[in-house]
Structure 1
Amino acid sequence: MKFSKHAMNVGVRSFLLALPVVAAQIVVSQTALGPVLSGIAQVQAQDAEPKKEQETRRTPALRNKVYEKLAEAQTAAEAKDLVTAAKVLDGMLAGRRDNELNSYELANVYNLYAFIHYSKEDYTSALQSYENVIKQPDIPLAMEINTRFTVAQLYFVQERWADGIDALQKWFDMTDTPNATAYVLMAQGYYQLKDYDKALQNINIAIDDFDAKGKIPKEQWYNLARFLYAEKNMTNEAVATLQQLVTYYPKKQYWVQLSFMYSEMNEEALQLGAMETAYVQNMLEKDGEYRNIASLFLNADVPYKASLVLQEGLEQEIVQDNSKNWELLAGALRQAQEVDDAIPAMEKAASMSDDGDLYARLGNIYLDADQNENAIEAITKGLNRGGVKRADNARLVLGMAYFNTKQYAKARDAFRAAARDERSKKYADQWIAYMNSELARQKSLAAEG
């Protein structure tokens, strides 16, 4: 019994092409959002360093009276007293004369404003404050680099993907050491704009960076790459990515997806192997998954394993208790030459069916088990009920059962009825000829006796 790939993989491709979770996971770096005063001492942008060819800036000094005001505002902000913190900063800017605060001092004021706005989830105002930080001349390069990275992240939080990409590109232009996180962020932006080529290029840089350092790339990174490869119909690459996922993050969904991709490549043995791995690790938990692997075992001519899977599923109430599944189990057992076990399974399937076809098939199994009377009863019941797909075959089997029980007249009637269908005429005629020959032989023996 063969099962189509389409039937076995319903819904899997849509699952494979589902939006990767990584696209929604944009978290603003806390480096730039941290306390201002510690930021003055050491400002970092995702471990980035300024490009060597950039000129060293002469940054204005931070005066003590300004430092004290900033410290007062920061203390209030850290105590969650954002109103007081904002009032202190407002006072520093209110009615000030030109050049009363130098560019570095202003940058730190706006940086703390940004922290306050972000804490209130006012991302638009936080973004404007960070833009004001960048506008100040002669601030430390590290501070500008750090702030530009945060600006890019905030654009992404607001789903302003193109603006975020532009901001992040400016950050890339200023640093010699962009890390994997930055490339992931860029990949996410291009993914949202459906520029899958650039998204794939950037996420692979991040993955390769971790690989080169002997670190395991994050699960979400592989997921984004897997999605992009599938979208671009790059099957081999999608399979290789899924192989990495099952190596480092062995979850059911990846084994199922990998099995599907192998089926797309006509690698039936690998397809079965992936699903069987999920099964032996007790990952399968749905009716369709059990029926899927049972069908794969049947296609691979391993019916006994198919029967074990189905029996387990039915016993644990994972596989639905319906006629179709009992029929599948009966077929697997019969193919495995477990006829005695196939009979009760098919009896159950037939009893749950609305037509007579399964009773006719049950008659076949009874005949295999030399239960001729039961075969006659089941096939007769099926034919009377109607809906038998191959009534000619059923009548052939009925004729054999009658013959075996020496009910020759009824056997002849059954064979003649089967012969009315051209598909069975040859075999029915052969049985009638054989029966005539056997009856003649028996008559001859009786005369001699």
Structure 2
Amino acid sequence: MSEYHLSTSKVRPVLLNLACSFSLGVAALMALPVVSSSLAPALQMDSPFAAQAAEKEKPKRSTRRTPAIRAKIFEKLNAAQEAADAKRYNEAIGMLNELRDKEGRGSLNSYELANLYNMYAFIYFTQEKYEQALDAYRNVVKQPDIPEAMELNTKYTIAQLYFVKEDYKNGVNVLLEWFKAKQEMQEDPGAGAYALLAQGYYQLKDLDRALKYIEVAINDYQKRGKVPKEQWWGLQRYLYYEKNDIKRVAAILEETLKYYQKKAYWLQLSAMYNEMKLDRKATATMEAAYEQGLLEKDKELINMAYLYLSQEVPYKAAKVLDKGIKSGAIPATSKNLEILGNSWRQAQEIKRAIPEMEKAAAKSDKGELWSRLGSIYLDNDEFEKAEKAIESAFRKGDLKRPDSAYLVLGMARFNLQKYAEAKKAFKEALKSEKSKDYAKNWLEFMEREIARQEALKDEV
């Protein structure tokens, strides 16, 4: 009887990214968006003949004698594969059923049965019928005397399918069996397998083992001069954050940013520097993201401005806010306009501060902003505007420091030579422990100034 061994031209692998993910969550990394990343390697679903082709490419390590696929069985399997490749799945399943039932399970040898079930699994998997695919794959590995490579590849696929079904306990158990077989054959499991095992332990909340194996995967890549997968670093830094090892999280983010330039990583790194009280680094990191045009949301831009203010660089803070408000990226609310006005004021740009504070005050129903506007007017020697602004502040009410407002009002009226009214304002400020000394000094100064002016009149 003729025997057929199948060529690699019949191998048509299908790639699937497993839906095995982890969530960092908002609370996990401070300001970081919960970030969700796929850690599993691509799942390769071979045609029924892939394992035999792989056996041809690798030297055999076992003494198993694998029976050959007979010509008539080969032709029927090949026909089913062609139907499956053309997405005629029901037709393909019918062919397989006929082969299984007509020939009879007893008349098919173990390798023929293994390829039969492998084809069933491939079709079910393509249709996302994962439970049926799992059953078919389990039937593959039940067959005796199949190539070790086929058995190992199938077990690995079974483990991954458990992950797809979120059955992580069984997935990890099968994966550990696969690891043991690999070790017995003295074969390297590969970084991707360690990463998948780490993902499984993460899902089982065994974070210590998850960290152990994700680091094996990352170190393996780095030793070979390869860049670790972005998702691997994501899981590693999450696990270190859970251990409250902020320094290590920052180091991982620094390494990640060398290869994966994403806004989320800049924001996370800045947050980590903040936790470590490295304010200059936190600001510089956010600035790097800003200069690259990565900060687009209003909260991100406002946070950038606050960081500049914390580092006593108000001019840069004002520029960020001014550009953001003019472009519409930052809403022109009373609060945001106030921050802009205060930033210009701290930068000694009074003429720029005034119009922003005027707009902020006009949008506010409270007196606090009018009080601050009055203070800015006073700094710019616009005494009449300062007086009117403070008067508006008192009419609207809700002042945090009315004593300070009285001081500004008193100084504005003094410069307008409204001495009696200025005296009333300073006397109100005297009532506050925080301002009484300053108010007293102003009253004494004003009395001396009035006396000096009266003396000049007498001399004339």
Q: TM-score, normalised by structure 2?
A: 0.88
Q: Which residue of 2 aligns with 1:42?
A: 54
Q: Which one of the candidate residues 171, 174, 195 is aligned to 1:167?
A: 174
1:108 and 2:115 matched: yes
1:290 and 2:306 matched: no
1:76 and 2:87 matched: no
The secondary structure found in structure 1 opposite 2:38 is helix
Q: Which one of the candidate residues 307, 322, 326 is aligned to 2:318?
A: 307
Of 316-325 and 413-422, the range deviating more from structure 2: 413-422
- The alignment of Structure 1 onto Structure 2 pairs a total of residues equal to 431
Quote how far apart the aligned CAs of 1:22 are: 1.5
Q: CA–CA distance in 2 between the matches of 1:255 and 1:226? A: 14
Q: Which one of the candidate residues 378, 381, 391 is aligned to 2:389?
A: 378
Q: Which one of the candidate residues 116, 130, 133 is aligned to 1:126?
A: 133
| Alpha-carbon spacing, 1:48–1:275, altered in 2? closer, same or farther (3 Å) | farther
The secondary structure found in structure 2 opposite 1:422 is coil
Q: CA–CA distance in 2 between the matches of 1:85 and 1:307? A: 68
Q: Which residue of 1 aligns with 2:218?
A: 207
Amino acid at match of 1:239: A
Q: CA–CA distance in 2 between the matches of 1:11 and 1:348? A: 36
Amino acid at match of 1:151: I
| Alpha-carbon spacing, 1:101–1:370, altered in 2? closer, same or farther (3 Å) | same
| Alpha-carbon spacing, 1:406–1:233, altered in 2? closer, same or farther (3 Å) | same
Quote how far apart the aligned CAs of 1:193 are: 1.2
Q: CA–CA distance in 1 between the matches of 2:68 and 2:29? A: 60
Of 253-262 and 219-228, the range deviating more from structure 2: 219-228
Q: Which residue of 2 aligns with 1:149?
A: 156
1:410 and 2:421 matched: yes
1:219 and 2:230 matched: yes
Q: CA–CA distance in 2 between the matches of 1:261 and 1:291? A: 18
Q: CA–CA distance in 2 between the matches of 1:48 and 1:316? A: 62
Q: Which residue of 2 aligns with 1:7?
A: none
The secondary structure found in structure 2 opposite 1:84 is helix
The secondary structure found in structure 1 opposite 2:348 is coil
Quote how far apart the aligned CAs of 1:195 are: 1.4
Quote how far apart the aligned CAs of 1:20 are: 2.9
Unaligned residue ranges in structure 1 (runs of 5+): 1-9
1:242 and 2:253 matched: yes
**Aligned 8 A contact 1:356 1:388 in 2:** yes
Of 249-258 and 56-65, the range deviating more from structure 2: 56-65
Q: Which residue of 2 aligns with 1:278?
A: 289
Q: CA–CA distance in 2 between the matches of 1:407 and 1:423? A: 24
Instruction: Within 5 Å, give how 1:415-430 maps onto structure 2.
Output: 415-430=426-441
Q: CA–CA distance in 2 between the matches of 1:166 and 1:134? A: 15
Unaligned residue ranges in structure 2 (runs of 5+): 1-25
Quote how far apart the aligned CAs of 1:91 are: 3.1
Q: Which one of the candidate residues 194, 198, 218 is aligned to 2:205?
A: 194
**Aligned 8 A contact 1:26 1:153 in 2:** no
Amino acid at match of 2:275: E
Quote how far apart the aligned CAs of 1:83 are: 3.1
Cα deviations by residue, 1:182-202 (Å, 9 ceiling, x for unpaired): 112112211211111112222
**Aligned 8 A contact 2:30 2:271 in 1:** no
**Aligned 8 A contact 1:37 1:71 in 2:** no
| Alpha-carbon spacing, 1:342–1:15, altered in 2? closer, same or farther (3 Å) | closer
Quote how far apart the aligned CAs of 1:96 are: 5.2
**Aligned 8 A contact 2:410 2:422 in 1:** yes
Q: Which residue of 1 aligns with 2:336?
A: 325
Amino acid at match of 2:439: A
| Aligned-pair identity (%) | 47
Of 379-388 and 310-319, the range deviating more from structure 2: 379-388
Q: Which residue of 1 aligns with 2:65?
A: 58
More RCO (CA 8 Å, sep 6+) = 1
Q: CA–CA distance in 1 between the matches of 2:394 and 2:367? A: 6
Q: Which residue of 2 aligns with 1:362?
A: 373
| Alpha-carbon spacing, 1:49–1:120, altered in 2? closer, same or farther (3 Å) | farther
Q: TM-score, normalised by structure 1?
A: 0.90
The secondary structure found in structure 1 opposite 2:189 is coil
Quote how far apart the aligned CAs of 1:342 are: 0.9
